[in-house]
Amino acid sequence: MILEAKEIFKIYKGVNKDLTVLDNINFQVAKGETLSIVGPSGSGKTTLLGLCAGLDKPTSGLLTLAGAPISEMTENEKAEIRNLKVGFIFQNFQLLPTLTALENVMIPLELQGRAKGARAKAIELLERVGLSGRHDHYPSQLSGGEQQRVSLARAFSNDPEILFADEPTGNLDEETGLIVENLLFDLNKEKQTTLVIVTHDLELANKTDRIIKLKGGKIVSDQSLKTAASI
Amino acid sequence: MNWPIIIKTAIRDSRKDRSKLLLFMSSIVLGVAALVAINSFNDNLVSDIETQSKSLLGADMTVGGNKPIPESLIASLDSLTTEASSEVELFSMSYLPSVSESQFVRLKGLSGGFPYYGNLVTEPASAADTYQTGRYALVDDGMMLQYGLQVGDSIKLGEVTFPIHGRLMTAFGSVDMGSSFAPSVYISGAEVAATELIQPGSLANYKNYYKVESDTDLDAWKEERKERFRNESMRVTTVEDQRENLQEAFSNLNNFLNIVALISLLLACIGVASSVLIYVKTKVQSIAILRCLGMRGEEAFMVYFLQIFVLGVLSVIVGVAIGSIIQVILPIVLKGFLPYEVNMTMSYSAMIKGFLMGVVITTLFALGPLLSVRNITPLKTLRISDDPVPSDPLRWLIYLLIILSITGFLYSLTGSILDSGLFTLGILAAFLILFGVAKLVTWGVRKFLPQNASFVLRQGLSNLYRPNNQTQTLIVSIGLGTGILTLLFILQGLILGNVEGMGAGNQPNMIVFGIEADQKEEMETITKSFDMPVIQHVPVVTMELAGWQGRTKKDWLQDTTRTASRWAINREARVSYREEMSPDDELIEGVYTGVHNGGDSIMISLGERYAEGLDVGIGDELVWNVQGAVIKTYVGSIRKINFRKMESRFFILFPTGVLEDAPQFMILVTKSPDKQVTADFRNAVVKSMPSASVIDLGSILVTLNDIVTKVSYVIKFMAGFSILIGLIVLISSLFLSKFQRIRESVLLRTLGAVEKKIYRINAVEYAALGSLSALTGIMLAVVGSYLLAKFVFNLDFNLSWWPILGIFVFIVALTVLIGLLNSRDVVKRSPLEVLRNV
């Protein structure tokens, strides 16, 4: 298993009353699997993604990512795991505004100390996402779709074992969204990466192997589409 | 730590934002420049004191006092050297026949080859060598220019009229400000007696100048004979003493300037801290992404620390360079204070000191807000929020280091742990009060802002406590700048106001002294002929203390366990006698005896300070030598004397019936209605009584105003640094805060707010900030100036509110103006463009 969540709770302390955002979450994700987490606003999707990716700590429970118990690890240890094994795609792209497209893609590799081959790999990835002529452009000089494609290239640059995507097409129009979607799945297939997507878009969710539905912080269904399709 | 990526990221990340930090840099540049300029100037001043103190003294040693050097000491001095000159110095009226004017002057009668080092600079140059050969006078160049006098005109001093032989271009050896009160006139020592200006009771000083062989150890010679000279009330000054005196005189000036520079640097550092704080806030998202991609907290911190540190060091270097240039200007500003021309050379120690202090303080102030970078969570990539970044406990260590470095710097200036500690506490208190006010304001506005207030008012005032507000930074920086400015205005006003108050209303404003006893009637007639009142016309008898409490003065002086002060023992007593005590004096002990009946003991009245100086009380015996005659008296009463009025005040008052036949002169106190009458009266007195001197408050005021203006000019020049830095901090804070306001302004515009409305909202916010900080700064200045006036300067505390109101209006207007100019850019930008970049 590449990802395992056991009895995960996330509770925010309130002035009058505590708020339970995630309530006893349990699931496993196999290597190479593609998974969507869906649910209405406020159901705890993004919180769960943040916990799984090691961006936050659960109140209780155990999270294992690529064999490492990330819920127990220090921030610096988690940073290392993220750098070596995880890729991210965000709804609002989250490119570093002061870096060019090429530098944004290079940075995960540089953080690993692999500066030598970083440039060539970043150029190759940018070409792969159709941005070969835009290396030196800053995020503010790119359209939303282009920014998300840079983000895709960056996400795959460190050859992650698992990729987390938070509403990857949420800020894009249908046509651009589709282009990004296709690129995401194509790259994922090529690189044999595990993919976890948080989305409202059921069409996108249906393209993954499995859908977990959240409601009120609890898993209400965990459906494998692969099996369903094959039946 | 992955240093290559840290350095690379630091460079890449700063590319687009360097301009945002330009203002931050400029405040460091100015702060360090002030520090280096002042330190360099100090170094040059001190090194020049070393080389010039001999020529400032003009001799190897001087011996002087308020009486001629006694014969007993002359023998000891003669054995030391044969090269000696003597000088008699006194203050007197002079009359200028060519312009029919009179002027109070410092008259010096010189005999001998003085100066032995340096030159008496005159025009023509030969006048310095020949003025002692006959009845000639050298007259101060400034005075000659004032009255349009030429060489060859004449000047009447006492009974003698001297032709002016040359212009005196340097007032030799006059380091003290007293020289500005009266211009100098030099004549030959042999001519002094002929002027008949030296009368009993005249204020004359006698000084001998000596040149010795270079191998003579003067300080050892002086050490051996110090006691003997002191017992005769003679002061011995060697070149070494002169050097120490000069160093002491200038170390005060220099410490003051250094403290102003330190305040400027601290103000600059507030700018640094606030700029870095906002810079970090604008970088939160980038830091979160970097953390998300696997960068460690320490590495992210290092990325931004490197940026700030490198920019800081660059700014400090530029500051050091500018400071070295400014030091060339300082001697021009300080010209009136300096007894000699200071040669300006590069002071490497000042540059190194400025560099180190600049780097240390800037880094420490930047570290405070930078520490929070370590705590920025990668979760901020998923959820954008304005939640404050959690504070780092390490910040307390940083605060401690800041306090220690300030105290250390002050200690290097003052050499006193207590003084440096107290001053640090003062700075800390001012900062804390300003921070406290800022906190109170944000809390108060949030709590009490009426919900039914107008939209503009609500929006504007709410900005004071909303996330990313600049309330604390601006209140501290504007408040401190305003405080310094106001303190200077108040103190200048107080010093002048206290002196002006002396001649107000029916208070006397003119004193005539040196009137001979037989001229009493004539003097009163002259005064009345000008329709001026004779407010006081009292006799003065000079005498010396011969002994007290049954022992002679000599006995007491040799007694090492005595409690009486030397000044009180050796003072030449100027005594008056009268039946009734002055109504302004307050009797604090005993009974005032106004009339002495033959046969009774003579009961005298002493001033409180004098009685304390001698350590005597009611009933104690005092024996006086009245120009040869010995008189035994007893302390009958002790008075508290009011010195604030311009009347003659006496430490020692005799009853009538004792001193009437003793040699005496008179002092007349009167009030002149205007300047013209003052000038005419002065001329009339000098013509008929050449030995009398007229001192009028008007001329003292003009001179005092001159001195205060000079002092305040220097202070203002230095405070200018602080104010300029304050303004830059203000501009940079507002400039950076506008990025925080873009989202709000654009959203407001998107929702339909017109430009005018946004300007008005901003105007309300900046007016509130400006007025609150100015008000706090003014309050601090009022309290500070009250404490200074009460405990340091001993002045009456009467505030003139108009200039303070002016400062208040100026600061508020400036804040609003800069704020609005800054927001103009935001308001003019298209919402679409801004939204895309937010």
Q: Report the gap between the CA of A81 and the closest CA in chain B (Å).
A: 7
Question: Which residues partner with B536 through β-bridges?
Answer: B669
Reduced to 3 states (helix: H, G, I; strand: E, B; else coil), residue B92 is strand
B381 touches chain A (CB under 8 A): yes
Closest by CA position to B329, among listed B50, B706, B33: B33
A166 touches chain B (CB under 8 A): yes
Reduced to 3 states (helix: H, G, I; strand: E, B; else coil), residue B522 is helix
Reduced to 3 states (helix: H, G, I; strand: E, B; else coil), residue B598 is coil
| pLDDT, position A170 | 83
| pLDDT, position A33 | 92
- The shortest CB-CB distance from B12 to any of A56, A103, A140 is to A103
* Interchain pair A111, B2: CB under 8 A: yes
Query: Do residues B738 and B834 make contact, with C-beta atoms less than 8 angstroms apart?
Result: no
| pLDDT, position B174 | 46
Mean pLDDT over each residue of chain A, to the nearest integer: 87
* Interchain pair B15, A98: CB under 8 A: yes
In order, the DSSP letters of chain A are --EEEEEEEEEE--SSS-EEEEEEEEEEE-TT-EEEEE-STTSSHHHHHHHHTTSS--SEEEEEETTB-GGGS-HHHHHHHHHHHEEEE-TT----TTS-HHHHHHHHHHHTT-HHHHHHHHHHHHHHTT-GGGTT--GGGS-HHHHHHHHHHHHHHT--SEEEEESTTTTS-HHHHHHHHHHHHHHHHHHT-EEEEE-S-HHHHTTSSEEEEEETTEEEEEEEHHHHHH-
Q: Which CATH class is domain A3-230?
A: alpha beta
Reduced to 3 states (helix: H, G, I; strand: E, B; else coil), residue B314 is helix
Q: Count CB-CB contacts under 10 A for residue B261.
A: 26
* Alpha carbons B117 and B54: distance in angstroms, whole number: 7
Burial of B52 per CB tally in 10 Å (0-12, 13-18, 19+)? buried
| pLDDT, position A228 | 45
Which positions ≥6 away from B699 have C-beta within 8 Å?
B104
| pLDDT, position A218 | 94
User: Which one of A55, A88, A105 makes the best mutation probe of the B interface by having the most chain B beta carbons within 10 Å?
Assistant: A55
* Alpha carbons B361 and B263: distance in angstroms, whole number: 12
Partners of residue A114 in chain B, C-beta under 8 Å: none
* Alpha carbons A52 and A30: distance in angstroms, whole number: 14
Mean pLDDT by 10 residues, chain B (838 residues): 83 76 76 82 72 74 84 78 86 87 86 83 88 91 85 91 88 46 85 84 81 81 80 81 71 64 73 77 84 86 90 91 80 62 74 88 86 81 63 84 86 78 84 86 83 77 74 79 77 66 63 82 90 87 86 82 80 84 85 86 90 89 88 92 69 90 85 82 83 72 60 61 66 64 63 72 88 88 82 72 87 86 69 46
Query: Do residues B414 and B255 make contact, with C-beta atoms less than 8 angstroms apart?
Result: yes
CA atoms within 13 A on the CB side of A160: 30
| pLDDT, position B71 | 81
* Alpha carbons B186 and B106: distance in angstroms, whole number: 9
CA gyration radius, chain A: 18
- The shortest CB-CB distance from A98 to any of B12, B379, B384 is to B12
User: Which one of B18, B292, B295 makes the best mutation probe of the A interface by having the most chain A beta carbons within 10 Å?
Assistant: B292
In order, the DSSP letters of B230-290 are HHTT-EEEEHHHHHHHHHHHHHHHHHHHHHHHHHHHHHHHHHHHHHHHHHHHHHHHHHHHH
Q: In B354-426, at which residue ranges do the beta strands (DSSP E only) sit? A: none
A45 touches chain B (CB under 8 A): no
Partners of residue A112 in chain B, C-beta under 8 Å: 294
Partners of residue B383 in chain A, C-beta under 8 Å: 46
